[in-house]
Amino acid sequence: MPNIEMIDTDQATGELADAYRAMAERRMPPVYRPPHGGAPGIIRAHSLDPALLTATFGLSGSLATDETLDWPARELINAVTSRANQCFY
């Protein structure tokens, strides 16, 4: 299994630290917040390229501004879309 080098929030500096702070301020259900208090793994997986992290999650964040769907409905749509695309979610 491949190992992706990741920089934790407590080790981040500069642009990465700024990106982590911005991610922490995003609306997110408590279930997605890891018990260690740092950034979720999917965010830390982008830690070697803070510009890409900001661009990727900035785009997805801008698409999820509609409050008409609750989180379970969004997750169902995400899971079904991933399955239809034969992508593990």
Please report whether residue 3 resides in a domain. Answer: no
Query: Is residue 45 in a domain?
Result: yes
* Residue 17 counted as domain residue: yes
Q: Per the domain annotation, does 1 fall within a domain?
A: no
Please state whether the predicted TM-score (pTM) of the whole model is above 0.75. no
Q: What is the pLDDT of residues 32-71, one digit of tens each?
A: 788 888 888 888 989 999 999 888 887 766 666 666 778 7
pLDDT at 57: 80
User: What is the span of the domain harbouring residue 18?
Assistant: 9-84
Residue 18 included in any domain: yes
Domain assignment of residue 64, yes or no: yes
What are the percentages of helix, strand and coil residues in the chain, rounded to 5?
Answer: 55, 0, 45
**Number of independent structural domains in the chain:** 1
Q: What is the pLDDT of residue 89?
A: 56
Place of tokens 């239809």: 84
Is residue 4 one of the residues assigned to a domain?
Answer: no
Residues 6 or more apart from 62 whose CB is under 8 A from it? none
